[in-house]
Amino acid sequence: MSSLRSEIISSLIKSADGEIQKARMNVEVYLHHPVGIGEHPDIVAAIQEQLDIIAHNEERIQVIQKHFAHKGEVYK
């Protein structure tokens, strides 16, 4: 049985990973169908925004793992 602490940490990591996956898919759409994104006339800037989301959430995961994960704990 996992502890509440482990469940919270796992939820935080899953949330950040979900944000990464959403941003990755947005970048893929921008790269493969840039003319279909009418509200983003500056495709490069739109991609940069998504890359910033990815970087922010990757950093969040690293911070969680560095400062809050105990040795031997695996979070899914």
The confidence score (pLDDT) of residue 7 equals 93
Reported as a single tens digit per residue, the pLDDT across 6-51 is: 999 999 999 999 999 999 999 999 899 877 666 667 888 899 999 9
Hey, where are the domains in the chain? 4-32+40-68
The confidence score (pLDDT) of residue 54 equals 98
CA–CA distances in Å: residue 62 to residues 15, 50, 52, 66, 69 = 13, 19, 15, 6, 10
Q: Tokens for 69?
A: 């994960």
Query: Does pTM surpass 0.85?
Result: no
